[in-house]
């Protein structure tokens, strides 16, 4: 009896409100109705809604946030949904902490079939957004400054049996991983067209995207820009307990400790990525690979990537045997056409390091030179150590680079009309780089859809003066109108492109 009285007095005197659960009656709630009925668990003050205690929105109830507003949560407080959360303001709404030095716990969505999050800012939480046994759409959202002080398994966006589409978001400067699922938990998200950068502020030796198994689904990581800051922060990593099937394509992965690291039973297609300057730690024995494959379970097809400026271009360990090009197979995923060059450490090139005893197919790629005898210096394999497997790098891909035009150097930048246009599924781009652009110019040729969303990078590198031609294959894109844009420090031009299937 005394114990009960003491607890009552403490709660009353400290002004702490009781936790609140909605009545599970199939009702649509908004923030004002929570203020009216939650008994002080949710209040309104100075233009913001304050969540003072844990709030549970139960199975048949729905909370809709459809206006531009701010929701501030008290220290260690969570919002839990076994019901539905709909966020869709005209501009943006924000989940944040009442005191950003005393951060709230999390927003947890569990077994919620119809939740959807758009135009949301999510910041200063301990566990981030946690999604369990459900697959909400997350579109045009911002996740930042989450997971401070949490050194265990926290992540800004946490997946558990989740197949969410995460698209057009900014996920940056979180203290741990940006997006992650457990190694033994089946998740198959689609991570599309996001800016994912400078996560792992705690420098905790974690990647910005961390993958586990995918079960029967396929993980798709497409059209993202993934750049690092902390010297131990990686790009994309996978260590599944079980099987992972993943497509990693059309991404830019730059300035991380490593680009992509896959370990275990992984079935991967890695295509059309720019994997550039992943060398920020600067210690070759601890990282710096553009692509790193470990283990006998790797089944990977790698084509049409640009892999440059890393400490190591490609490293293979244990008994990994991905295919970087096999001219005996007609499937375009075996076509090679990777550009793997200028990856170096300790005074020599390591564009490809086969640290396995297995033979590796790497035909029809460009290695920074079209001279066959010079390519050997870029590849470390059986000729360097009899214990290693041979890398079959012939024939070379020699269609990349300058197109001879009777030795005439262009006088100005020019972007030509694509041909054919309309096309299905392949067209060609041509452009000129003049000598007046200095010795080398930074050139970016990229594809965008009709809404202006990034679709694919064709090239992003320094080029000398000359005329260039590149193929564009759009077999994975839908019919419609696209734009291709040539961007240099001196010149920008866009042209329309029509894909008809």
Q: What is the pLDDT of residue 451?
A: 83
The proportion of the chain whose per-residue pLDDT surpasses 70, expressed as a percent, equals: 93
pLDDT of residue 450: 85
Q: Does residue 165 surpass a pLDDT of 70?
A: yes
Q: How far apart are CA 198 and CA 207, in angstroms?
A: 10
Determine the Cα angle at 163 with ends 272 and 274, to 5°: 15
The pLDDT-based confidence of 437 (bands split at 50, 70, 90) is: low
Three state DSSP letters for 43-73: EEECCEEEECCCEEECCCCEEEECCCCEEEE
Segment holding 31, helix H or strand E: helix 31-37
Higher pLDDT, 114 or 462: 114
User: Mind listing the pLDDT tens digit for each residue in 237-262?
Assistant: 999 999 999 999 989 899 999 999 99
pLDDT value at 216 more than 90: no
Strands (E), 289-408: 289-294, 299-303, 306-308, 312-317, 339-341, 344-345, 348-349, 352-354, 360-361, 379-380, 391-392
The per-residue DSSP string of 201-258 comes to TT--S-EEEEE---TTS-EEEES-EEE--STT-EEEEE--SS-EEEEEES-EEESSS-
> Could you tell me which residue, 19 or 151, shows the higher pLDDT?
19
User: Domain coordinates of the chain in residue numbers?
Assistant: 19-47+67-72, 115-257, 272-400, 414-499
Distance separating alpha carbons of residues 185 and 180, to the nearest angstrom: 10
Tens digit of each residue's pLDDT (9 = 90 or more) over 12-68 = 333 344 699 999 999 999 999 999 999 999 999 999 999 999 999 999 999 999 999
Q: Which CATH class is domain 414-499?
A: mainly beta
187-211 confidence digits (pLDDT tens)? 999 999 999 999 999 999 999 999 9
- Angle CA 38–100–136, to nearest 5: 60
Give the model's pLDDT for residue 3. Answer: 33
Task: Supply the pTM of this predicted model.
Answer: 0.79
Indicate left, alpha or beta for 450 from its phi (over 0: left) and psi (-120 to 50: alpha): alpha
**What span, in angstroms and rounded, lies between the C-alpha atoms of 357 and 68?**
59
Highest mean pLDDT pick, 78-87, 269-278, 455-464: 78-87
pLDDT over 50 (residue 407): no
CB of 204 closer than 8 Å to CB of 237? no
Q: Which of 79-93, 262-276, 321-335, 425-439 has the lowest mean pLDDT?
A: 425-439
Residue 467's Cβ-count burial label (10 Å; 0-12, 13-18, 19+) is: middle
For the ranges 125-139, 212-226, 285-299, 445-459, which has the lowest average pLDDT?
A: 445-459
Q: What is the pLDDT of residue 15?
A: 38
Contact 284, 252 (CB under 8 A): no
- C-alpha torsion sign, points 43, 44, 50, 55: positive
For residue 151, pLDDT over 80 is answered with no
């Amino acid at each position: 009896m005394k114990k009960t009285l003491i607890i009552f007095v403490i709660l009353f005197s400290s002004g702490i409100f009781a936790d609140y659960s909605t009545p599970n009656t199939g009702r649509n709630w908004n923030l004002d109705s929570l203020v009216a009925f939650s008994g002080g668990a949710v209040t309104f003050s100075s233009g913001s809604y304050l969540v003072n205690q844990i709030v549970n929105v139960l199975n048949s109830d729905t909370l809709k946030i459809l206006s531009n507003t701010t929701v501030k949560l008290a220290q260690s407080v969570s919002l839990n949904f076994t019901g539905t959360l709909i966020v869709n303001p005209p501009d943006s709404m924000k989940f944040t902490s009442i005191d950003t030095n005393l951060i709230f716990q999390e927003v947890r969505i569990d077994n919620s079939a119809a939740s959807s999050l758009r135009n949301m800012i999510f910041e200063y939480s301990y566990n981030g957004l946690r999604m369990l046994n459900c697959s909400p759409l997350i579109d045009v959202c911002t996740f930042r400054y989450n997971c401070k002080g949490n050194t265990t398994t926290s992540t800004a966006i946490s997946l558990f049996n989740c197949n969410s589409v995460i698209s057009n978001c900014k996920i940056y400067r979180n203290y741990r991983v940006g997006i992650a699922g457990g190694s033994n938990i089946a998740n198959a998200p689609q991570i599309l067209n996001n800016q994912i950068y400078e996560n792992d502020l705690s420098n905790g030796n974690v990647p910005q995207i961390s993958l586990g198994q995918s079960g029967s689904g396929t993980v798709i990581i497409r059209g993202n820009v993934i750049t690092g800051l902390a010297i131990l922060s990686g790009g994309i990593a996978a260590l599944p307990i079980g099987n992972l099937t993943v497509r990693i394509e059309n991404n830019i992965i730059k300035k991380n400790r490593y680009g992509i690291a896959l370990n275990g039973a992984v079935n991967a297609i890695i295509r059309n990525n720019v994997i550039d300057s992943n060398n920020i730690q600067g210690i070759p024995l601890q990282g710096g690979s553009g692509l790193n494959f470990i283990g006998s379970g790797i089944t990977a097809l790698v084509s049409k990537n640009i892999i440059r400026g890393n400490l190591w271009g490609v490293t293979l360990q244990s008994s990994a045997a991905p295919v970087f090009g096999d001219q005996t197979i007609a499937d375009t995923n075996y076509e090679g056409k990777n550009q793997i060059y200028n990856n170096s450490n300790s005074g020599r090139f390591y564009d490809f390091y086969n640290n396995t005893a297995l033979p590796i197919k790497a035909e029809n790629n460009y290695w920074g030179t079209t001279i066959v005898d010079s390519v050997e210096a870029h590849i470390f394999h059986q000729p360097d150590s009899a214990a290693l497997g041979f890398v079959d790098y012939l024939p070379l891909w020699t269609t990349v680079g300058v197109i001879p035009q009777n030795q005439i150097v262009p006088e100005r930048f020019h972007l030509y009309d694509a041909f054919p246009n309309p096309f299905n599924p392949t067209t060609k781009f041509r452009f000129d780089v003049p000598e007046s652009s200095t010795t080398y110019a930074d050139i970016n040729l990229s594809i965008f859809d009709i809404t202006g969303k990034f679709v694919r990078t064709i090239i992003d590198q320094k080029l000398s003066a000359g005329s260039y031609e590149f193929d564009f294959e759009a077999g994975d894109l839908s019919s419609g109108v696209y734009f291709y844009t040539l961007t240099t420090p001196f010149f920008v031009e866009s042209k329309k492109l029509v894909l008809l299937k």
